Amino acid sequence: TYTTDTTSREENKKTIESLYKLSVDIKKIRRLKEWVLLQDVAYVKEVAGILQEMGADETAVAHILERCPEAILHTPAEINSQRALWQLVCQNEKQLIKLIQQFPESFFTTEYHENQKANILFFQELGLKNNIITRFLTSAPSIFYNPVEKNRNVIETLQRNYLSLGGSDANMKIWILKLLSQNPFILLNTSTTIQENLEFLQKNDFTDHEVLQLLSKLKGFIFQLTSTTMQKSMLFSKSVFKCSDQELKQLVLKCPALLYYSVPILEERLEGLLKEGISVAQIRETPMVLELTTQIVQYRIKKLSALGYDIKSGTLESLSGTKKDFEVNYGKIQSKKERPIFNPVAPINIED
């Protein structure tokens, strides 16, 4: 056990000396996490030794300890247990040390060791590939801190709902794995939230097939919303686009962002588009443009205007989509503009 209470405590000279020998920037640690240097017990040499055993050179060790100085407060036994655990999903120690260099905080969180282990085995059993599990360990470590029963419960709720919405047994596994890969944070929700949000969509006359469609399009982010925020966003869109419930439903299926983004965000994006001279009718025709931030919209309009493309009179299709989609559309407009008009019957000028 260690404490973050730094009042009237002195730095541990032995810790400082050991870190100094490893060429660690002690000033950096003092600035960011000085409390680590005040602890009575630290395992600097031992931790550095384990990292070197795994293939980390002196520079890598110094970098890891600067990024995550609390690593030195873990016992060698704790770190070796984490090492064995992460090796369940890493191809080799070379890959493991690379991950530790990039995400030291995730690796050195040892308090939930048993939960982490149980969840890794559960994810493997579920059919998730090891490279996806390593991605979760580094980018979404909090899902491993849950007791495995909680994660299992969420997955079972999703499976049950998928089948009740008309999904097939044959496709269920692929659907669950895809959903998890796209948004592992889905596991931080409760089964109740999942149930409530699906019921909200059904009450708003979305068919079972449409609910499934929305789940896939929203990559599970729908479970991070509440029925209240979804209701507000839908009412806002209905009043802006002056449409019926049925028309609104079609707009949401076309652009799930109308359901996902809060009213202030939708309001800000709508205002940004109107300021550029774009009409509500144009936005209603291509609502996907609301998925973009105002800055992205302004940047794209500027680029298209430079080519002489008038966004006010044209379609918004060329404006929406991912960065890649936009670049493809932009390239088409550009090449159309640059292409010389060839007249096959024009006389050829031949200079003497």
Residue 338's pLDDT is: 67
| Domain membership flag for residue 46 | yes
| Domain membership flag for residue 48 | yes
| Domain membership flag for residue 27 | yes
Residue 267's pLDDT is: 94
Angle between helices 169-182 and 113-126 (to 10 degrees): 140
Contact 282, 313 (CB under 8 A): no
Contact 104, 141 (CB under 8 A): no
Residue 62's pLDDT is: 95
| Domain membership flag for residue 241 | no
Using CA atoms, how far apart are residues 197 and 165, in angstroms rounded to an integer? 13
Quick one: tokens of 16?
């400082």
Residue 336's pLDDT is: 77
Quick one: tokens of 273?
């588009």
For residue 299, give the nearest of 311, 315, 287 by alpha carbon. 311
Could you tell me which residues come within 8 angstroms of residue 191 by beta carbon, excluding any fewer than 6 positions away?
153, 154, 156, 157
Contact 120, 88 (CB under 8 A): yes
| Domain membership flag for residue 53 | yes
Question: Per residue of the chain (352 residues), what is the pLDDT tens digit?
Answer: 555 555 447 899 999 999 999 999 999 999 999 999 999 999 999 999 999 999 999 999 999 999 999 999 999 999 999 999 999 999 999 999 999 999 999 999 988 999 999 999 999 999 999 999 999 999 999 999 999 999 999 999 999 999 999 989 999 999 999 989 988 999 998 888 888 889 999 999 899 999 988 888 888 788 888 889 999 999 999 999 999 999 999 999 999 989 989 999 999 999 999 998 889 999 999 999 999 999 999 999 898 888 888 888 777 888 888 888 888 888 888 887 765 555 555 554 544 3
Residue 8's pLDDT is: 46
Contact 272, 298 (CB under 8 A): yes
pLDDT mean across residues, the chain: 89
**In which domain, by residue range, is 62 found?**
10-110
pTM exceeds 0.85, yes or no: no
Quick one: tokens of 270?
């709508």
| Domain membership flag for residue 273 | no
| Domain membership flag for residue 33 | yes
Residue 330's pLDDT is: 84
Q: How many domains does the chain have?
A: 1
| Domain membership flag for residue 92 | yes
